[in-house]
Chain A
Amino acid sequence: MDVPIIELSGVVKSFGPVDVLKGVDLRAYAGKVTALVGDNGAGKSTLVKGLAGVQPFDAGEIKFAGNTVSLHTPRHASALGIEIVYQDLALCENLDIVQNMFLGREEASGGTLEEGVMERQASHTLQSLSVRTVKSVRQKVSSLSGGQRQTVAIARSVLKNAKVVILDEPTAALGVAQTEQVLSLVRRLADSGVAVIIISHNLVDVFAVADHISVLYLGNMVASLETKDTNNNDVIGYITGSKTYEGIPV
């Protein structure tokens, strides 16, 4: 197996007396989808916030493409190309798709916005993800469906050369058809060479799209498996703690 683009070893995070992460290992590979599953309170969000640099880990080693790095601020994370798509998407409904994708990093020259440049890059990114559901990049986000919004949020994350994209429950609020669209987008995203980490409660989605599955249980990474070597029941067992993993960690 090649070098993981991101590798966490022995990551620890506590809030006061509560140990949320008790020495967690996680690996994600370029071009692969890694699913991070676990019950509520298992530490998934804390792990993601650590990777985002929002809540730095207390201890543990973070390797990015084989080199030890520090993730103490969101700036570190985005400089490395780690992008997070949060569950609530964080889009401005009153702005259009291009404006949202470039929010906070607008292209400008001579103090005025370069709308044309941004428009071209935005449609280029959407096209590279083979997005077909969006009619115009100048549509207001308020006029988009949930799946289209998810698409915009994902496209926003890969606009600037993302290496790792972390998706927090991307299909939680979507219908069947839109879930299908988003999952195939996630697949294409990985196929384009990005390491995708997807957090989901929906094991059907996880099995549909993930290459690896990592299971968190009460702050420990209890299992790390190849999707093809496992099944739904086993994963549920790891998530609920009723089954113990004895394989070799991948």
Chain B
Amino acid sequence: MTATELTTPPRIGSGFQGSARDQIGDYFRNMRNGDMGALPALAGFVVLSILFSFLNSFFLTPLNFANLLTQTATLMMLAMALVFVLLLGEIDLSAGVTSGVTAGIFIVLVKNFGVDWILAVLVAFAAGLAIGTFIGFFVARVGIPSFVVTLGLFLGFQGLQLLIIGTGGTIRVETPEISAIMNQNLPVVVGWALLAVALTIAVAISLWDRARRARAGVANRPLVLMWARLVLIGIGGALFVALLSIDRAASRGSLNGVAIETDPILGVPIVVPIAVGLLWIGTFVLDRTRYGRHLYAVGGNAEAARRAGIKVVSIRMSAFMVCSTLAVVAGLFDASRIGVVTAASGSQIVLSGVAAAVVGGVSLFGGRGRLIHAAIGALVIAVIANGLVLLGLPAGVNFLVTGGVLILAATVDALSRKRASGGVLR
């Protein structure tokens, strides 16, 4: 060994060095080593979409695409809410009924008490926050397993919902602003404008990241990769908006020889920018703030986090507060789409939400998963329901297939992980 080798130890890499080719090579290597993220779910979504589009000609129409989005939105919000507690290895079985109860509070305030809808929405959010605080207190401070606390609330809140709505009750949503979320579309030009804003933000953040890394004196990935990624996002976004900018009004038929003039239906559903915005904000918090880092740390090794000076109890409590608050959004989405709040609202959905998160690649053991995983998982589950209904298959098949996909996703995850750790299946 020469003197220079002794005095200058080899620089330790960071995975950011190397040409675009090296980087892409690394990416696939990581994937083979079990770090697949949402890719299996994304692949599943694409395969299912292709399958259904062959089996049913209506599947790949703009109308069905828009339907799919609104059908997914509630589940997606709930799955995203659950990610915060799943990251800690906890669970919130009451997220669904929380969405139902808070939607119930909203609708009763508006309909029975004539409260202004904005105030009612705020009260619903405050109720969600209070529920989350309650769960967090019993889990993090009292030390009851979250499964038990939230199972208790799951049972109790079904009763509370009955009391709020009234036995057998169904209350119609007559607040135009809430109905609009799922049933109205943005003007085409606004859809494109929002896409432009989103892409501008994405470019700005990417450049900002590079500038920060450069200022710190550490390597950046090749610029071409950044642009390639942004262009892909841009193309995807453009296709998305374009597809939703086509008039998707149903059958332009004729009645007794007279052509029926229907109003065109076109534009991005209002729910899309809301969901994407929350997804983006949540991802930003989880990836780029101390709070997000601490959440992952507590989920990965709570004792290590505690010794590092992280307030584990506060982090635990906050995760339940975020989950229940986001569940309120899911409840309002559901009320908007169905058009009514019933005594049973939200009582069925929570396990689908957990399934969506797991299908997307979120670990139930904590520490692993991202919001986008939950969103993609929700798309997979929604596309199964959507496609099977189009094929005219009975609802029973839907549940069977969804269950099968969940087990398949968990298997893919387990196998890739075993391979990564050099386990028996290597």
Contact = CB atoms under 8 A, between A and B. Distances in A.
A92 B11 contact: no
B16 interface: yes
Interface stretch (A21-29, A135-143, A189-197): A135-143
B300 A123 contact: no
B300 A106 contact: no
A86 interface: yes
B290 A123 contact: no
A108 B35 CA distance: 27
Nearest to A102: B293
Contacts, number: 114
B14 A137 contact: yes
Contacts of B213: 115-116, 119
A143 B15 CA distance: 14
Interface residues of A, number: 42
A19 interface: no
Interface string B387-405: 0000000000000000000
B216 A90 contact: no
B2 to A, nearest CB: 15
A93 interface: yes
Contacts of B16: 138
Nearest to A129: B9
A135 B212 CA distance: 23
Interface in B302-334: 303-305, 307-310
Contacts of B289: 108, 111-113
A233 to B, nearest CB: 37
Contacts of A16: none
B368 interface: yes
B168 interface: no
Which of under 10, 10 to 19, 20 to 34, or 35 or more describes the interface residues of B? 35 or more
Given A91-B301, A138-B15, A114 B216 contact: yes
B304 A90 contact: yes
B33 interface: yes
A123 B213 CA distance: 14
A90 B307 CA distance: 8
Interface secondary structure of A, over-half rule: loop
B216 A120 contact: yes
Contacts of A127: 9, 11-12
A44 B421 CA distance: 35
Contacts of A90: 301, 303-304, 307-308
A228 interface: no
A173 B214 CA distance: 39
A45 interface: no
A123 B12 contact: yes
B368 A103 contact: no
B290 A108 contact: yes
Contact of B305 (A104, A123, A130, A139): A104
Given A104-B305, A116-B213, A94 B296 contact: yes
A115 B212 contact: yes
Contact of B301 (A93, A108, A116, A131): A93
Interface string A76-119: 00000000001011111111001110011110100111111101
Contacts of B209: 115
A113 B12 CA distance: 21
Contacts of B420: 143
B288 interface: yes
B367 interface: yes
A193 B420 CA distance: 39
Interface of A: 74, 86, 88-95, 98-100, 103-106, 108, 111-117, 119-120, 123, 126-127, 130-132, 134-140, 142-143
26 contacts: A86-B307, A89-B304, A90-B304, A90-B307, A92-B304, A92-B305, A94-B368, A95-B297, A99-B296, A104-B294, A105-B309, A108-B289, A111-B289, A112-B289, A113-B293, A114-B216, A115-B213, A119-B14, A119-B216, A127-B9, A131-B9, A135-B12, A137-B12, A137-B13, A138-B16, A140-B35
Given A90-B303, A92-B305, A113-B293, 5 more contacts: A94-B301, A94-B367, A103-B305, A104-B309, A139-B15
Q: Sort A-B residue pairs by CB-CB distance and give the 10 closest, nearest first.
A: A116-B216, A104-B308, A92-B300, A94-B367, A94-B300, A90-B304, A116-B213, A104-B309, A103-B308, A138-B15
